[in-house]
Amino acid sequence: MGHGGSTTSTTRVEKRRSNGSKVGSKLRLQSTASSPTSNQSTYTPVHKQAGNVWQDPLRKAILMAHAQSKWSASERATSPKVNDGPSNGPSPSIVSGYGRAPSRAPSQMSNRSYRGPVRNPCCVLSGFTKEDFQKGDIISAPFHTPNLDPNVNLADQRLTRTIEGPAYSKRRMLIVLWKYEQAMYCLPLFSFGKRGISAKPVFLRHEFVSVKNEDHDYHFPTEPFQNHGVYEPVEVLTKLKPLDVTTSVHIAGGVKLDCCEDIKKVGRLTFSGYKRLLKIWQDLSDASQGEPW
């Protein structure tokens, strides 16, 4: 009697194991079906930050667009180069649809720095506050400097004669290094007429670092990236068009921008690119501060 009961119990256990095995097999099949196959066209970025908050919606949207692109490498190689030059940043009309609208009411924390959007003949304010930006953002903003080029064309509309002397204005791209309450410390981008860092004297090249599109091979499949700087390049990911391959960051050219200026977002550094840029800036600053009194 006891032996017969043992046989029945064993049979039930085997059935449960069999059913569990079938369920497990079904789940494995579903998981395999939802995973990309090896022959699917997917884009694998150079910098992988799985689960990192640095992977914002901008980055995910761009990588997804690359993965779904039907252009072949040869078609991209022969297509017109539609890359952005840092000295000719996107105009507001081109990138006005990107980012959050600055129409929200200010929070208690940002009330002191909040200024609503304004656009009239004598003033342009975006209405943005520090909460609208992140460290590592690539932005485009009006950039005004004293004109130091004695050969500039007097008919150039970017040249303005002010009471303090001639000034030159253009929309330039910059990288947000960090933020204050009402302002941001930013480093400008240059391409020097598509000549890159090699256009600068050798003794100045350590003050610049090359910029590399993280998806360079996607946009320029037949043009291997060439680094003309003395540091490892910093990687970026842009919203609309890749940056020109000669783009560099001026480490010694930091400027302050008010958050409420007429600023547009263009893209962002990768996490590793931001950390590398910050360290290069810090090392150069320490070396300069360490010079004799």
CA distance 279 to 10: 66
Q: Which pLDDT belongs to residue 119?
A: 87
- Reported as a single tens digit per residue, the pLDDT across 97-114 is 333 344 444 444 444 445
Q: Which pLDDT belongs to residue 85?
A: 65
Q: Which pLDDT belongs to residue 86?
A: 65
* pLDDT surpassing 70 at residue 236: yes
* pLDDT surpassing 80 at residue 217: yes
Q: Which CATH number fits domain 83-142+172-289: 3.40.50.880, 2.30.30.110, 2.40.50.60, 3.90.1150.10?
A: 2.30.30.110
Q: Which pLDDT belongs to residue 239?
A: 84
CA-wise closest residue to 187 among 137, 144, 236: 137
User: What is the average pLDDT across 182-188?
Assistant: 97
* pLDDT surpassing 90 at residue 71: no
CA-wise closest residue to 140 among 287, 241, 14: 241
**Could you state, in order of their start, the residue ranges of all structural domains in the chain?**
83-142+172-289
φ, ψ (nearest 5 deg) of residue 85: -95, 135
Q: Which pLDDT belongs to residue 159?
A: 94
User: What is the average pLDDT across 181-197?
Assistant: 94
List of long-range contacts for 97-102, beta carbons under 8 Å, 24+ apart: 98/239, 98/264, 98/265, 99/132, 99/264, 99/265, 100/132, 102/126, 102/127, 102/128, 102/129, 102/132
* pLDDT surpassing 90 at residue 58: no
* pLDDT surpassing 80 at residue 137: yes
φ, ψ (nearest 5 deg) of residue 204: -105, -10
Q: Which of 41-45, 52-56, 198-202, 288-292 has the lowest mean pLDDT?
A: 41-45
Q: Which pLDDT belongs to residue 266?
A: 92
Mean per-residue pLDDT of the chain:
75
pTM of the model: 0.66
Q: Which pLDDT belongs to residue 24?
A: 45
CA distance 166 to 150: 10
* pLDDT surpassing 50 at residue 135: yes
- Reported as a single tens digit per residue, the pLDDT across 193-213 is 889 999 999 999 999 999 999
